[in-house]
Amino acid sequence: MRVRELAEWLAATFEGDGEKELTGVASLESAGSTDLSFVAGRKATQQAQASAAGCLIVPPDFPNPGGRTVIRSPEPRTAFARAVTRFHPPAPLEPGVHPTAMVHPTAEIAAPVEIGPYVVIGEGTRIGARCRIGAGCRIGKRVAIGEDSVLHAGVTIYDDVDIGRRVILHSGCVIGADGFGFVMAGDHYEKFPQVGRVVIEDDVEIGANSCVDRAALGVTWIGQGTKLDNLVHVAHNCRIGRHVVVAAQTGFSGGVVVEDYAVIGGQVGVGDKARIESRAVLGSGCGVLSSKIIRRGQVVWGTPARPLKVYLEQLANLSRIGELRRQLTELIERVAKLERRGEAHQ
């Protein structure tokens, strides 16, 4: 693809050789003369001059004294991500149902769809057009999957789950398993029936081996455009808002509410019935206590989660403990000497 064509497709402007042919994409460090790369951030701007990339996607204020070939975009990373799809388009849909798949006669399968080997699709389930169902997926009864969704190999969807359009579920996902609900009956636990549902809205992506539990009563909800990393657990009756991003190994206890555009780092633990308000940021490894409210736009860190400024002040104080202990020991020794002198003069 020529630089001029790519710039037009991205609705961006270019400088330099618009006829240069690009054949691939690569990082700044490894790009060659026919590769496209991008510059985002001060460090990348410094590295760009040494890069051998044939073309760079750069911000509007990128200095270009050498006159190298660049495409200017207000969001270089986003533009580059879109460009990657031109060089690495998804594999074309291979319509059809593999002969080893088991599809219940009452299931409604739109055309075209791709259903792989050993897939099981239950009673009353509806699969939208252009969906891809990978090998070994198990889809229960009364499940609805919207158009253009992708289930990679080995996804399990229990009964009564609604999945929107353009949803991506990676291998090992389990959607709609029972929530962790038990009641004490005398000297033992009995299961609290989990009879709710799961609703996943459009454009959600859920990483490998992540689990979204059905509600005990009502609905566990994942909002439009939300992205869950690998190994994320969403417990029963959680409501995750729109365009939330959650990094790996994070767990939400039952009844948690996460509002729109929140950002949650890896290995975060959120206690039951906590509320994370819109655009809050939870740093990696922090812990949110049960029923805690993280306010809109707040950045928190640590366990228990607290405002970042407070957390950093406490870290600084902790780092001084060794010195404070040494000073205290010296003071104790000096006081003891003064006391001995006083006793000697009596």
Q: 244 with 261: CB under 8 angstroms?
A: yes
Task: Estimate the crossing angle of helix 308-319 against helix 321-345, to 10 degrees.
Answer: 50
Gap between the Cα atoms of 296 and 266, Å rounded: 20
d(CA 21, CA 27): 18
236 burial via Cβ count (<10 Å: 0-12, 13-18, 19+): buried
Active site residues: 236
Residue count of the chain: 346
Give the single-character DSSP code of 179. Answer: P
Task: Select from 279, 225, 290 the least CA-distant residue to 251.
Answer: 290
Measured between alpha carbons, how far apart are the two ends of the chain, in Å?
Answer: 97
